[in-house]
Structure 1
Amino acid sequence: MELNKAVIDCMRSLRRRLRDEQQLDIHLDQPDAVTAMLAGCMNSNDELTRELGRQLAVFSDRLPAPPPPRAASSGATVRIYRGQRVLA
């Protein structure tokens, strides 16, 4: 991962927010700092913290896993139309 000003600023903001919200003490020189910050963001209830976590994931090429697909309701059928799921 390339460390530039945007990445460092994002990590500093996240570090402060996670320390205030969850009392996580993450140092930027830790080998697993990015992993610890992303884990803290997933546990956060604050939308801004989660957004900063998404930015850090993009910067570090660690995109989060896609959410599991939702099961269709019992009475509705699902069709695929132009690559998109559509309730029929």
Structure 2
Amino acid sequence: MELNKAVLDCMQALRRKLREEQAVDIRLSQTDAISAMLSACLASSNEETRQLGQRLAQLSDMPYQSAPSVPALVEAAHVAARSGSVRIYRGQRVYA
């Protein structure tokens, strides 16, 4: 998939919203960044976040409804909120 300015702008806006709402830290350099963002959007209760997720799905040609691992991502967000610190090391979440 080609990352153009529109896709990157949408990803950055969505990344900020997800960090504020769910304390999910997704880096744009992750190999599964788009699918992780779409999964988090499905778990979001904010309509603006869901619309950004739909926009990202359209721009990236990925299905919005079949985003993988929604329960795992939601659980990771809850664990991160309880522990307070999450780092990404080689694409994996490390809870400190």
TM-score by length of 2: 0.65
- Matched residue type, 1:2: E
Deviation at 1:16, TM superposition (A): 0.3
Question: Greater shift after overlay, 29-38 or 55-64?
Answer: 55-64
Larger radius of gyration: 1
In structure 1, stretches of 5+ residues that fail to align are: 67-88
- The Cα shift of 1:2 comes to 1.4
User: Is structure 2 residue 17 aligned with structure 1 residue 17?
Assistant: yes
Partners of 1:46 and 1:61 in 2: CA distance: 22
* Cα separation, 1, equivalents of 2:32 and 2:55: 17
Q: How many residues align?
A: 66
Q: Which has the higher contact order (CA 8 A, sep 6+)?
A: 2
Q: Which residue identity lines up with residue 26 of structure 1 in the other structure?
A: I
Distance in structure 2 (CA, Å) of the matches to 1:65 and 1:28: 21
Once the two structures are superposed, what CA deviation does each residue of 1:31-84 show, in whole Å capped at 9, x if it has no partner? 010010000000001111000000111111112349xxxxxxxxxxxxxxxxxx
Query: Which amino acid in 2 is paired with 1:58?
Result: Q
1:46 is the counterpart of 2:46: yes
Q: Aligned partners of 2:61 and 2:8: how far apart in 1?
A: 15
Gapped regions of structure 2 (runs ≥ 5) = 67-96
Provide closer, same or farther for how the CA distance between residues 21 and 65 of structure 1 changes in structure 2, counting only shifts above 3 A. closer
Q: Distance in 2 between matches of 1:65 and 1:6?
A: 21
Cα distance in structure 2, aligned partners of 1:65 and 1:45 = 15
Which one-letter code corresponds to 2:47 in the other structure? E
